[in-house]
Chain A
Amino acid sequence: MTLDREELLRMYRTMVCVRQFETLAGEYFAAGKIPGFIHLSIGQEASSVGVCSALRSDDFLTTTHRGHGHLIAKGADLDRMVAELLGKRTGYCKGKGGSMHIADFALGILGANGVVAGGLPLAVGAGLSIKLRKTDQVVVSFFGDGASNRGPVHEAMNMAGIWRLPVIFCVENNGYASTTPVARACSVPDLALRAAGYGMPGVTVDGNDVLAVREAADQAVARARAGQGPTFLENKTYRIRGHFEGDPQKYREEAEVQAWRDKNDPLQRFAAVLRKGNVLTQDLQQGIWDEVEAQIGQALAFAEQSPYPEPKEALEDLLVNP
């Protein structure tokens, strides 16, 4: 499958957007403007953009505590995202969710999930719903290498396997489950090997190569739309930031992080490919970065100017019919 120029630039732009969003979120958090805690996906942009760019807007998505990138890649509104991070009434969840609980059901985003592996059973339900409603939508469920060891993953993959549901189980293997290296927590080197146990194909790709990810995602989506069932996609990537902002990161050497940042940055790698193919020029690249910066600056301004909810709004939105 070949991607046209516009699509390639759109993907690059989205990756830049994720990078800048996360960078600014980190700065805002450090400045004390974001309450609670946040988990950033810097370094994992190829995975989120590579997969989500393969989806239609009516496809479904479940994501994780590290979900900003997936949301942006699926088309979420930056203004409402930032407003939610700041706990404002104009946020996606009117300030009730925060970083870990952003959803946009109009875009098929069934929510970021604060419970590790919490999204997978829901994704299977969405897959069953697609099958029962006889549409050709697909569901992508992102999870991490840490989540891959939880029980619900087993149940979810088995059920999707037996019912041949249009679900793509996308594990972003970023090397660490919080502080635990993947080799110490997982019984196999490639998590995709587990797919065989559920009767579905398992694919391991270079998760920092956005085009490789996209290609694998396209194939998985095609299988799902054709009613051929689920796919287990493993994107091998690396988390540049700590598990959460403020993580002392005593479990790894700075040199290791530095090596990934310098030699395996997904944005740099993709830009190099695009430059080589004459899709991207220096000016164009700069233009994209500036444009995204302006867009995010606008989102920040919107969020900062937005009001906080009234305290008593905490009692709203629990039930449709109280």
Chain B
Amino acid sequence: MAERRLSASAALAEALREEMTRDETIFILGEDLVSHSGIFGQFKGIPENFPGRIIDAPISETCVAGCGVGAGLTGMRPLVDFHFSDFVTCAMDELCNQAAKIRYMFGGQVKLPLVVWCPDGAGLRAAAQHSQSLEAWFVHTPGLKVVVPSEPADVKGLIKSSLRDDDPVMFFQHKRLFAKEGPVPEDADFIIPLGQAAIKRPGADLTFLTYGSGYHLCLQAAEELAAQDILAEIVDLRTLKPLDMETVAHSIQNTNRAVVVHEACVTGGFGAELAARIQVELFDYLDAPVLRVGAKDVPIPFSPVLEDYVLPSVAEVIEAARAVTYR
């Protein structure tokens, strides 16, 4: 049987339709969702099939996020759409002071099922306030889970897990990858557990640790490196919190070298956390320092020449790979 291929948007919509059919407490709340089925078409088929369960809110990110928290605390399973991940700044109190802390500060009395769905990432010439990759902010906030899928099948498997989870999940999906197609299982019970990384390409010489759009950079770099006889293993982390350190360790124990690749700017990025853990937990397996490849430490600029310069490139990934393999 031929593999069925779907875009990341279609995979998301399919997963949501399946989950909303399965669980009546799931609803979607956000801005400008109904008329276009989401500004990226990510909720295709939902307004027709689930009237009243996909709700257009006024432009009120603060209250939309808070609403998700309040509904999640009172028996619903909300998915809050953030339009552009950049706007999480308008709801940092609701996400970081409320959602992340409620279960803990009330002594575990309550669960908070809530998915905060954030289209993120650069490359659309959308400039500084519509292009960010902000996952590290939330990794740094205890009480939140952070998911960053890279391929359509991951989108389907992980959004389903997130909706079934009883803790708040920040779900980041790259805008430039919505249209990218990949094989997606038709099974309505296909789920990928949170906290499970995948070795998507085996290799013996070094490990790329990546997620989201970084995965596609690594894939391309790995192809080119293979031609130079450098075999890169790609670990797609998929979930940053909880982190599948076991798979990371397994890979590095085999390759002895690691490069972290993400689109977010390098300083204070998730790569810093990974590099720190690797040096503590895998010190004696390392044959080279862990390198990081990410965006330069500036806001994302508008002009294509500027934006392309700031974002991490395949060439930089290759260069890092050669550096850690001493070749």
Direct A–B contact in the complex, CB atoms closer than 8 angstroms? yes
Assess the A156–B107 pair: CB atoms within 8 A.
no
Enumerate chain A residues within 8 angstroms of B130, measured Cβ to Cβ.
none
Minimal beta-carbon separation of A220 from chain B (angstroms) = 18
A39 in the interface, Cβ–Cβ < 8 Å? no
Interface code B91-134, partner A: CB below 8 Å = 1, 0 otherwise? 00110011000111111111100000000000000000000000
Quick check: which of A88-96, A230-238, A254-262 contacts chain B, the rest being far away? A88-96
A155 in the interface, Cβ–Cβ < 8 Å? yes
Residue of B nearest to A60 (CB): B74
User: Can you give 29 contacting A-B residue pairs, CB < 8 Å?
Assistant: A60-B74, A92-B107, A93-B107, A96-B107, A97-B106, A110-B70, A110-B73, A111-B102, A111-B106, A114-B97, A115-B93, A115-B97, A115-B98, A118-B66, A121-B70, A121-B94, A122-B66, A122-B67, A122-B70, A125-B71, A125-B72, A126-B70, A129-B71, A132-B52, A155-B58, A156-B63, A317-B108, A320-B103, A321-B167
Enumerate chain A residues within 8 angstroms of B74, measured Cβ to Cβ.
60, 110, 125-126, 129-130, 133
Contact pick for A118, options B27, B29, B53, B98, CB 8 Å: B98
Give the docked Cα–Cα distance between A106 and B60 (Å): 30
Assess the A121–B62 pair: CB atoms within 8 A.
yes
Interface code A264-276, partner B: CB below 8 Å = 1, 0 otherwise? 0000000000000
Residues of chain B at the chain A interface (Cβ within 8 Å): 25, 27, 29, 52-53, 55, 57-58, 60, 62-63, 65-76, 78, 93-94, 97-98, 102-111, 142-143, 145, 165-167, 194, 242
Given known contacts A96-B107, A129-B75, A159-B57, A124 and B63 CB-to-CB distance under 8 angstroms = yes
Minimal beta-carbon separation of A38 from chain B (angstroms) = 16
The SS class assigned to the A binding surface is mixed
Residue of B nearest to A98 (CB): B105
Number of interface residues of A (CB under 8 A): 47
Give the docked Cα–Cα distance between A306 and B116 (Å): 39
Assess the B71–A126 pair: CB atoms within 8 A.
yes
Enumerate chain A residues within 8 angstroms of B97, measured Cβ to Cβ.
114-115, 118
Give the docked Cα–Cα distance between A123 and B45 (Å): 30
Residue of B nearest to A95 (CB): B107
Give the docked Cα–Cα distance between A308 and B73 (Å): 28
Contact pick for A105, options B52, B66, B109, B142, CB 8 Å: B109
Enumerate chain B residues within 8 angstroms of A104, measured Cβ to Cβ.
109
Residue of B nearest to A314 (CB): B104
Enumerate chain B residues within 8 angstroms of A105, measured Cβ to Cβ.
73, 106, 109-110
Taking each of A123, A127, A321, which has the highest tally of chain B beta carbons within 10 Å of its own beta carbon?
A321
Minimal beta-carbon separation of A166 from chain B (angstroms) = 12
Give the docked Cα–Cα distance between A102 and B103 (Å): 11
Assess the B166–A125 pair: CB atoms within 8 A.
no
Minimal beta-carbon separation of B280 from chain A (angstroms) = 19
A221 in the interface, Cβ–Cβ < 8 Å? no
Give the docked Cα–Cα distance between A316 and B105 (Å): 10
Give the docked Cα–Cα distance between A94 and B27 (Å): 32
A162 in the interface, Cβ–Cβ < 8 Å? yes
- Give 7 closest A-B pairs by Cβ, nearest first: A121-B66, A125-B70, A317-B108, A93-B107, A155-B63, A125-B67, A155-B60
Taking each of B75, B76, B105, B143, which has the highest tally of chain A beta carbons within 10 Å of its own beta carbon?
B105
8 Å CB interface, A277-292 against B: none
Give the docked Cα–Cα distance between A317 and B103 (Å): 7
Given known contacts A92-B109, A130-B74, A159 and B93 CB-to-CB distance under 8 angstroms = no
Residue of A nearest to B55 (CB): A128
Minimal beta-carbon separation of B102 from chain A (angstroms) = 7
Taking each of B72, B76, B78, B166, which has the highest tally of chain A beta carbons within 10 Å of its own beta carbon?
B76
Assess the A124–B107 pair: CB atoms within 8 A.
no
Minimal beta-carbon separation of B253 from chain A (angstroms) = 24
A32 in the interface, Cβ–Cβ < 8 Å? no
Enumerate chain B residues within 8 angstroms of A66, measured Cβ to Cβ.
none
Minimal beta-carbon separation of A131 from chain B (angstroms) = 9
